[in-house]
Amino acid sequence: MDGEQRTRPAAPPRRQQGETGDSTNPNLPVLLPFIAIFALVLIPSLLDVTSSLSIVHQVPEGQVGVYWRGGALLKTITEPGFHLKLPLITHFEPVQVTLQTDLVRDIPCGTKGGVMTNFEKIEVVNRLKKDYVYETLLNYGVDYDNTWIYDKIHHEINQFCSGHSLQQIYIDMFDQIDERMKDALQADCTRYAPGIEIISVRVTKPTIPKKIMRNFEQMEEERTKALIAVEKQRVAEKEAETQKKIAVSEAQKHAHVSSIQMEQKLIEKDGARKEEEIANAMYLAREKSLADADFYKTMREAEANTLKLTPQFLELKFMEAITNNSKIFFGNKVPNMVFDQRLLGNFFQDETPKEKLES
């Protein structure tokens, strides 16, 4: 064993002060609290779970946040966005302040005549005013619409049905139910819950017994037939009236044309009459002128003849007449004939001075 050398195992190195024996990250103990807070605060909000353990909560757009502390409603109203609250102490609820539609279904009601009807669906469009959120929730809670919309619709529908017959509800006054319900809801809301505004009410046709429905359908068919008959009669009357107007128009047109033609003929006749009068006047004037000319000619010829009737002229003419005779008779009476012609010339000669003296 003298030649053997024993070796000792090497001693482990000295640990520095503050070093641990494991390889764990030294920052992990510091991050664990933050991880826990993140899981406790943000995860419930991201999952949209209302939890009293959450500190940060989100108010959606179109809503406001209301808070209860120890069951008492707080006056704090928050706007949309992220907000903080005390966990396990403060309770949070989002409340919608924009337009919303509440659907009320299956509303049975009895008519004045005892017939049971059912309104399957009535829609109420309403809005909670932001300034009245605290007052409304304080008096009626988050489910305020149960009191002033759902229950109120049931009450008003039954009041309306009990005062009207089935004919009025189903046909005559059905178009008025919307406005009546709206006015009734708004009147009570204005009086007791002014923060609730009723925008509109839409009422669907109620269901009625099948036998009565068939009667109404038959009545509607008969009414439709009557309306069709009335409409046909009205169309026929309109067509007859149109034909009458056309006939009157045609008659007036023909009468007007006849009047124009008659007036034209009268004008033509009058023109012809005037033309004839002018022609007659011209003819009369021409004939008168001719007569006057003939008279003047005759008078002048008479005057000329009077001037010609002298003894010498008559004797000349007598001689010419004898000379122109191709035959001359001789006898006892010839001297007498000559003597007579001479006496006639003397007579004219004696008469001429007398006429001159008288003129």
pLDDT for residue 21 is more than 50? no
Domain range for residue 47?
A: 35-95
Helix (H, G, I), strand (E, B) or coil at 303: helix
Whole-number mean pLDDT of the chain?
A: 80
The answer to whether residues 110 and 196 belong to one domain is: yes
Structure token pair of residue 61: 């757009």
Q: Which of 70, 95, 120 is the last residue of a domain?
A: 95
Identify the top-confidence range among 232-241, 290-299, 316-325.
Answer: 232-241
Number of domains in the chain: 2
Cβ atoms of 162 and 155 within 8 Å: the answer is no
The answer to whether residues 77 and 110 belong to one domain is: no
pLDDT at 336: 55
The answer to whether residues 53 and 144 belong to one domain is: no
The answer to whether residues 106 and 86 belong to one domain is: no
Residue closest to 124 by CA, chosen among 151, 92, 95:
151
pLDDT at 46: 46
Domain membership of residue 18 (yes or no) is no
Domain membership of residue 249 (yes or no) is no
pLDDT, greater one: 338 or 11: 338
> Listing from the earlier edge strand, what are the strands of the sheet with 100-110?
100-110, 116-128, 196-203
pLDDT for residue 52 is more than 90? no
Distance (Å) of CA 288 to CA 1, 104, 275: 206, 118, 19
Domain membership of residue 285 (yes or no) is no
pLDDT, greater one: 318 or 341: 318
The answer to whether residues 87 and 134 belong to one domain is: no
Each residue's pLDDT tens digit, 122-145 = 999 999 999 999 999 999 999 999
pLDDT at 333: 55
Domain membership of residue 144 (yes or no) is yes
pLDDT, greater one: 341 or 296: 296
The answer to whether residues 73 and 123 belong to one domain is: no
pLDDT at 45: 44
Q: Which of 140, 175, 208 is the last residue of a domain?
A: 208
Q: How far is CA 340 from the centre of its chain?
A: 124
Domain membership of residue 62 (yes or no) is yes
The answer to whether residues 48 and 81 belong to one domain is: yes
The answer to whether residues 89 and 178 belong to one domain is: no
Each residue's pLDDT tens digit, 170-221 = 888 999 999 999 999 999 999 999 999 999 999 999 988 888 888 877 887 8
Domain membership of residue 237 (yes or no) is no
Domain membership of residue 235 (yes or no) is no
Alpha-carbon distance of 182 to 352, in angstroms, equals 141
Cβ atoms of 123 and 202 within 8 Å: the answer is yes
Q: Which of 95, 111, 130 is the last residue of a domain?
A: 95
pLDDT at 327: 62
pLDDT at 190: 93
Mean pLDDT of 233-244: 91
The answer to whether residues 105 and 187 belong to one domain is: yes
Cβ atoms of 166 and 208 within 8 Å: the answer is yes
Alpha-carbon distance of 169 to 311, in angstroms, equals 143
The answer to whether residues 123 and 86 belong to one domain is: no
Percent of the chain with pLDDT over 90: 36
Domain membership of residue 261 (yes or no) is no
The answer to whether residues 47 and 129 belong to one domain is: no
Alpha-carbon distance of 103 to 308, in angstroms, equals 146
Identify the top-confidence range among 160-174, 295-309, 343-357.
Answer: 160-174
What pTM value is reported for the model? 0.51
Per DSSP, the chain holds a count of helices (H) and strands (E) of 9, 8
Distance (Å) of CA 120 to CA 104, 154, 199, 205: 8, 12, 21, 8
pLDDT, greater one: 305 or 57: 57
Q: Which residues pair with 96 in a beta bridge?
A: 63
Neighbours of 334 (CB within 10 A): 11
Q: Which CATH number goes with the domain that contains 158?
A: 3.30.479.30
The answer to whether residues 44 and 87 belong to one domain is: yes
DSSP letter at 12 equals: P
